[in-house]
Amino acid sequence: MSISKKVRQLVYDKCGGHCAYCGKEIAYKDMQVDHIIPMLRNFPDWQIEMGGWTRGTDDIDNLLPSCRSCNFRKGTCDLEDFRKQVKAQCETLCKTFQGKMSLSYGLIVKVDKPIVFYFEKLNNQKEE
């Protein structure tokens, strides 16, 4: 099922033109509509049951605006797996030749902090 223009606009407005995950500004045309709980389109029901997963829906509450990178990296992950992936990706980068050298020269700085998605920060602001 494709998402209507009206729904796309609602999704875009959810984070005021930012990616719901990394928070960078995205143009409407570049926005990808992400399913918070993945649709698992190519997964048969039995596989979903075996994996203990839940199949997401096209309901507006399950949709968030995403940039291409975050949408690509999130793939079929749920939020917590995606959070782990983002963290693990940095660990991997720091172990590469380029990462190590950039760290040595102080060109990049490794910061140990929890991954808080942009939409979570927005939600926290609303609650305060």
Where along the sequence are the contacts to Zn ion (CB under 5 A)?
19, 21-22, 67, 70
Residue tagged 């975050």 (tokens):
70
Residue 1 Cβ vs Zn ion, minimum distance, rounded to whole Å:
24
Considering the complex, state which of residue 31 and residue 56 has its C-beta at the smaller distance from Zn ion: 31
Residue 23 Cβ vs Zn ion, minimum distance, rounded to whole Å:
7
Considering the complex, state which of residue 15 and residue 19 has its C-beta at the smaller distance from Zn ion: 19
Considering the complex, state which of residue 63 and residue 70 has its C-beta at the smaller distance from Zn ion: 70
* Angstrom distance (rounded) from CA 18 to CA 25: 4
Considering the complex, state which of residue 72 and residue 100 has its C-beta at the smaller distance from Zn ion: 72
- 6-40: b or e for each residue (b if 16 or more CB lie within 10 Å)? eebeebbeebeebbbbbbeebeeeebbbbbbebeb
Sign of CA dihedral 83, 87, 89, 90: positive
